[in-house]
């Protein structure tokens, strides 16, 4: 009897520890998702953007002051705002001096292209270490690229760090066309970032030589169902009507190839486009208590997350950045920054855009297979980062 009781106790402990019972009490995300603030916030976003008095008081502020704000980073000699093509907002740990230096020498170098205005800043928090803070102050004076907020710099404060980056961009660099948020352990190709934002829907296909276009055609034929769902959404009604239903595979693939061949290479996204792009995930909360990402029902009661972009590297157009920043005023704080931004984007009616060339893991390196990589995780070793970036630059890919 004792052994049976003991086994039962162990079983109950296991079920509790791994959150098996919790799943029974989760709400259906697709039927009843509603994250506070509970209500329509679109008018409030526009009122905030127009600096008008809001009808609905905000519920969430990231009221952390700037210790260092780089207020001149995006201005000219007349203190007027310039219009960068791209601003890198790098989320960096306070003691990662070597990583910041390597980024300045590689993908964060602002004068990489003489005809493209690029700016780079590093977002930091604080630590209870006066010597460390003194080093940060000297670094800030030397490079003038440190944006430091008065929040404590820890892993679970990454949402605060990210939103401080949003706050800085809105207040001190509001005219950039694109903003890229990046962790300081990422490889990034500035050349590919600029290629991507030129034509995100067809990146990197519009860059391919004819031989690679034909290879893509063969891949489409082998997996036509996937491309029927992914590629056909970009075809107009007439083109779809012209497809021969009896030979859909060949006709669709040929149609896609013909459209690839006539892509406009100097395509520009309209200024009003709201783009939030990176590697998109659709997944469920971790309910087992051993997980680093364990979430209780009180924190989040639903069985699925909204679609979200991995936080290591993502790109926002100006319109998306502003709308998401002000939507955060009506979005309850959440400690995981990528999930939080997914919730904010949903509340602002911005659909995350997926691109395979943002790697949340470390993509195996060869000079050839990095030719279209926008970003790859796993470059804590600064010597490796500099070697890879310099090789890609020599190959014309960075």
Residues 85 and 167 in one domain: yes
Domain housing 363: 46-199+272-394
Residues 211 and 343 in one domain: no
Residues 286 and 371 in one domain: yes
Task: In whole angstroms, give the CA distance from residue 106 to residue 104.
Answer: 6
97 domain-assigned: yes
17 domain-assigned: no
The count of domains in the chain is: 2
147 domain-assigned: yes
**Which residues 6+ apart lie within 8 Å of 76 measured at CB?**
82
CATH number at residue 92: 3.90.550.50
User: What does the pLDDT look like over 77-116, one tens digit per residue?
Assistant: 899 999 999 999 999 999 999 999 999 999 999 999 999 9
Tokens standing for residue 107: 């993908």
Residues 192 and 211 in one domain: no
User: What does the pLDDT look like over 213-252, one tens digit per residue?
Assistant: 556 556 545 554 444 444 444 434 333 334 444 444 454 4
* CA Rg value for the chain: 23
Strands, E assignment, the chain: 66-68, 86-91, 118-126, 146-152, 178-183, 186-188, 276-278, 280-281, 308-309, 313-317, 353-354, 358-359, 375-377
User: What does the pLDDT look like over 169-192, one tens digit per residue?
Assistant: 999 999 999 999 999 999 999 999
Residues 188 and 153 in one domain: yes
Among the candidates 224, 239, 261, a domain finishes at 261
């Amino acid at each position: 009897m004792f052994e049976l009781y003991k086994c039962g106790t162990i079983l109950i402990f296991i079920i509790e520890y791994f959150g098996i019972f919790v799943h029974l009490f989760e709400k259906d995300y697709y039927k009843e998702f509603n994250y506070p603030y509970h209500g329509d916030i679109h008018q409030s976003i526009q009122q905030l953007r127009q600096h008008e008095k809001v009808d609905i008081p905000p519920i969430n502020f990231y009221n952390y002051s700037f210790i260092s704000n780089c207020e001149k980073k995006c201005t000219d000699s007349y203190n007027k705002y310039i219009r960068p093509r791209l601003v890198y907002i790098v989320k960096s740990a306070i003691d990662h001096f070597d990583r910041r230096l390597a980024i300045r020498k590689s993908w964060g170098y602002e004068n990489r292209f003489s005809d493209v205005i690029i700016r780079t800043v590093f977002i930091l928090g604080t630590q209870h270490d006066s010597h460390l803070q003194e080093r940060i102050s000297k670094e800030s004076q030397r490079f003038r690229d440190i944006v430091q907020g008065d929040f404590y710099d820890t892993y679970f404060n990454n949402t605060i760090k990210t939103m401080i980056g949003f706050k800085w961009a809105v207040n001190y660099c509001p005219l950039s066309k694109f903003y890229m948020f990046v962790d300081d352990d990422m490889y990034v190709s500035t050349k590919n970032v600029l290629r991507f934002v030129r034509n995100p829907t067809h990146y990197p296909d519009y860059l391919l030589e004819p031989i690679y276009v034909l290879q893509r055609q063969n891949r489409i034929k082998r997996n036509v169902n996937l491309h029927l769902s992914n590629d056909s959404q970009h075809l107009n009604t007439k083109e779809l009507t012209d497809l021969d239903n009896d030979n859909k595979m060949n006709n669709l693939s040929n149609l896609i190839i013909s459209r690839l061949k006539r892509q406009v290479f100097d395509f520009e996204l309209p200024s009003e486009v709201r783009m939030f792009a990176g590697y998109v995930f659709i997944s469920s909360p971790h309910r087992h208590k051993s997980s680093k990402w364990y979430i209780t029902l009180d924190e989040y009661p639903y069985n699925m997350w909204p679609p979200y972009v991995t936080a290591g590297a993502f790109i926002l157009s100006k319109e998306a950045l502003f709308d998401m920043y002000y939507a955060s005023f009506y979005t309850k704080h959440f400690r995981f920054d990528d999930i939080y931004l997914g919730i904010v984007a949903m509340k602002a009616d911005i659909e995350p855009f997926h691109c395979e060339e943002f790697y949340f893991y470390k993509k195996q390196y060869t000079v050839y297979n990095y030719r279209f990589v926008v970003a790859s995780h796993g470059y804590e070793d600064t010597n490796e980062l500099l070697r890879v970036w310099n090789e890609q630059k020599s190959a014309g890919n960075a």
